[in-house]
Amino acid sequence: MTLKTVPLSALCPGKDNPRRHIDKDAIAGLAESIKTDGVLQNLVVERNGDGTFRVISGSRRLLALKLLKRQGVIDGDYKVPVEIRKLGDGDALRIATIENVQRSDLEPIDEAEAFAKMLQTGASIDDVSAKTGLSGQTIRRRLALADLCDEVKEAVENGEVPLGIAEAMTLGTHDQQRSLLKDLQNGAEFDRDAIRDMLCEQKPSAAIAIFPLEQYTGTYTRDLFADEETTYFDDVEQFFALQKQAVEALAEKARKKAAFIEVLNCYSVPWWQYRDAEKGEKGGVVINLHPTGPVEMRRGLVRHEVKEEVVEATREIPEAPKERPEVSAGLVRYAALHKSIALQAALLQNPRKAKEVAAVSLLLGLLPSKRLSIDVHPCVTAWDESANKPKALASISAELSRLSRLLGIEFDARARVSNPNGLADTAVAVYQAVRGLSDDDLDRLSTVVVLLSFGQSSVDALDTGESLFNRVAADLGLGMRDWWLPDAEFLALLRRDQLESVAIESGASLRMGKLKSYGKKELVDMLAKYFARTADPAATLDEHDQKGRCWQPGAMCFPAGPPAHR
């Protein structure tokens, strides 16, 4: 390392400067500072071999000096303090990147591409983290931006697309990114979550199939205009089996000539780990089957010298969703509570079936290690603090109030019994009240008290089997739409792709137009209004709206279906 001064005319801009976007106002401000106080920090340079020096660190100071020269403030002989270094391969980029990152001067896209170049020459994520002070997670998030299509990168650089939106867009293929960018530029209002939902959870459409459609034997669901982009495969499992077969056929064909074949199944391929083969180089092929179905394929690629640990750490982008159940825990509990209170109300309308269930419950109380007790099911008390109570709960509450009046005992929906008249022994007090009931009312009381404990055995799991709960509901022919409405609370528990399917299956999409133009909250609100209107007995409905009146999700069936809707 050597410290000296060199004339401004001997300085050349660096080849590996990670900064691509210059703030002209900031350069002008820096020039004014240099005019007043001079260059306060040495530029880092390396010799070119022809008497000139290439700037490694200090590109903004060089631009400011050149601006002063153009203004006539200084000339080419102006002495610039420099630190001369002898650098190895990749050192120039590393030093320039670290200086810029530590000063928080680089734009996210510039950072992304600079980090990618460092890793392409054998650096590790820990190396980059240690030298820049950024966490490994932040570095991986930036690397994902390096694989955005050029159009989106430019939009981010120009401030048209916020960073959070851009990070969500990394989940899509380049074609999907371009389509989203076009929608955004045309005025669509997508937030980060809406884009994530759209790219991660949409059903596969006919437009992305790479196999002959006649191979598919299942049914389709069609949106408003029924073109390929809005024609969805109902049998998703069969679609992916056929798509995978087609990918394997492409790979097998490419193996005959390619240097290597990589078949991936990820949201975003780390394309920065590859370069185009040069003339005379034998290139490889990368094929990616996106988790939502689209296929990307690139030929003529050569791998950069990226460490295996980096390949593993960046195999999937940070935005990629973690595996989650088809039906959320909130929806499972919601369905269990609503179905349980509805079945209790339906049993009240069928005295014989109610007595059968009460008898079974009492007999089960005689099993070994059991002691007869009445534990009120959570469905009876779940809506104590809610203003929006289910229709079925009103039926249960009305019957409890009637029996309470007959007994002369305060008897509420929690099955709490007060001691009438202040008698010392509650049991004696209740006995006296019961003695005054008619035979029919006595039967009714005995049955209702037991029914308060009856419902889905666990409210935290879908009841998909041959349970007593499901058998009784089947015997009654219970349909949840007689007791329940798909309201905003229910709809908010669904993912965006599920909401789109609900709109199509229920007939609502015919009145909503292009579904992808709506945010999730808008979909929830519009569907809630649609179901409320179609449930109105006085409403005049066409054949499509009739679907809305009877549509019922799988979670609300007896037994429950695994999907959130069907």
Helical (H) or strand (E) element with 12: strand 11-12
What local confidence, expressed as pLDDT, does residue 282 receive? Answer: 92
Contacts of 481 (CB under 8 A, 6+ apart): 535, 549, 550, 551, 552
**Chain position carrying tokens 């820096």:** 30
Please indicate, yes or no, whether the overall pTM of this predicted structure exceeds 0.75.
no
170 residue type, one letter: T
What local confidence, expressed as pLDDT, does residue 224 receive? Answer: 46
Determine how many CB atoms are found less than 10 A away from the CB of residue 14.
23
Q: How far apart are CA 504 and CA 527, in angstroms?
A: 11
Strands 231-233 and 220-222: antiparallel
76 residue type, one letter: G
- Point out the residues of the chain with pLDDT beneath 70: 1-2, 15-23, 87-106, 131-133, 223-230, 323-325, 366-372, 411-426, 562-566
Whether omega before 162 lies within 30 degrees of 0, making that bond cis, reads no
Q: How far apart are CA 486 and CA 498, in angstroms?
A: 13
DSSP strand E in 253-340: where?
261-264, 274-276, 284-289, 295-303
What local confidence, expressed as pLDDT, does residue 188 receive? Answer: 80
61 residue type, one letter: R
Q: How many helices (H) and strands (E) does the chain have?
A: 23, 11
What local confidence, expressed as pLDDT, does residue 565 receive? Answer: 45
Q: How far apart are CA 224 and CA 462, in angstroms?
A: 32
For residue range 394-442, what is the model confidence (pLDDT) as tens digits?
A: 999 898 888 888 887 776 555 455 555 555 566 777 788 888 889 998 9
- The yes/no answer on whether domain 1-105 falls in CATH 3.90.1530.10 is yes
What local confidence, expressed as pLDDT, does residue 417 receive? Answer: 58
Q: How far apart are CA 408 and CA 415, in angstroms?
A: 14
DSSP structure string for 127-196: HHHHHH---HHHHHHHHHHTTS-HHHHHHHHTTSS-HHHHHHHTTS-HHHHHHHHHHHHTT----HHHHH
What local confidence, expressed as pLDDT, does residue 254 receive? Answer: 92
**Taking the domains of the chain in order of start, what are their residue ranges?**
1-105, 211-313, 350-455, 487-550
DSSP helix/strand/coil, 124: coil
Strands 11-12 and 53-57: parallel
